[in-house]
Amino acid sequence: EYELCEQWGQLYPVPREDLINLHREHLLHLLEMGDMEKAFQLLQRIEDPGICLAISEQSLDQHPNLAASHFLADYLTAHFYTSLTTARCNEIQALYMGSKVLLTLPEQSRVNYFHLSSRPLLMLEQLLMNMKVDWAAVAVQTLHQLLAGQEIGFTVEDIDNLLSKYAGKALSFPFALKERRS
């Protein structure tokens, strides 16, 4: 009965921390149910930007499912970019990009790479090491599009260097080929 609690909070004074906890739990419940529209409306209803920022950040730090993480990272980047530290912005943008890359993978395989969602470059390296070349190609394309004009701790050059490194390893042979003599 989150709505009832919210109405109660409008009629009677509720401590700030309790209000943040109520809205955070409500937001996480909506995101868990997959109702992104109601989650967005909930965040829009909150008048105090400080409370809205706290709710969004705390919800993201709870490590919700992939779709919820993607939604929260997108919301924080879109609405609170200037309110966050550079390091936190980079962390949130990396999570956004990582979740975007995860969404390009086949659904049954996402669980294997979810733990790397906040580290998209490492996720790409893992795809290359697991010989998932087709998935890595889509990941590279997605990252190239998302990195256009952004600085989040790694660049397009870092991606290209990683690809060059693994391409070189794929072509190196641990032994020398000898000519057969007849």
Q: What is the pLDDT of residues 13-41, one digit of tens each?
A: 888 898 889 889 999 999 999 899 999 99
Whether pLDDT at 3 is above 70:
yes
pLDDT at 171: 72
Section 61-75 average pLDDT: 89
Both tokens assigned to 49: 């930007």
- Interval 100-131: pLDDT, tens: 899 899 989 888 998 888 898 899 999 988 88
pLDDT at 163: 87
Residue 107 CA: distances (Å) to CA of 2, 10, 67, 102, 131? 31, 41, 12, 9, 18
pLDDT at 38: 92
Whether pLDDT at 182 is above 60:
no
The radius of gyration of the chain's CA atoms, rounded to the nearest angstrom, is 22
Burial class of residue 51, CB neighbours in 10 A (0-12, 13-18, 19+): middle
Both tokens assigned to 88: 């936190």
Q: Average per-residue pLDDT in the chain?
A: 86
Q: Which long-range contacts (CB under 8 A, 24 or more apart) does 151-155 make?
A: 151/90, 152/89, 152/90, 152/93, 152/94, 152/97, 153/90, 153/94, 154/120, 154/121
Section 88-97 average pLDDT: 88
pLDDT at 144: 86
- Interval 130-181: pLDDT, tens: 888 899 999 999 888 888 767 677 888 888 888 888 888 777 666 655 666 6
Section 61-87 average pLDDT: 88
| SS3 (DSSP) at 15 | coil
The residue type at 26: H
Section 87-92 average pLDDT: 87
Q: Of 46, 39, 41, 48, nearest to 71 (Cα)?
A: 39
> Please, are residues 85 and 52 in contact by the beta-carbon 8 Å criterion?
no
Per-residue H/E/C for 28-57: HHHHHCCCHHHHHHHHHHCCCHHHHHHHHH
What pTM, to 2 d.p., does this model score? 0.76
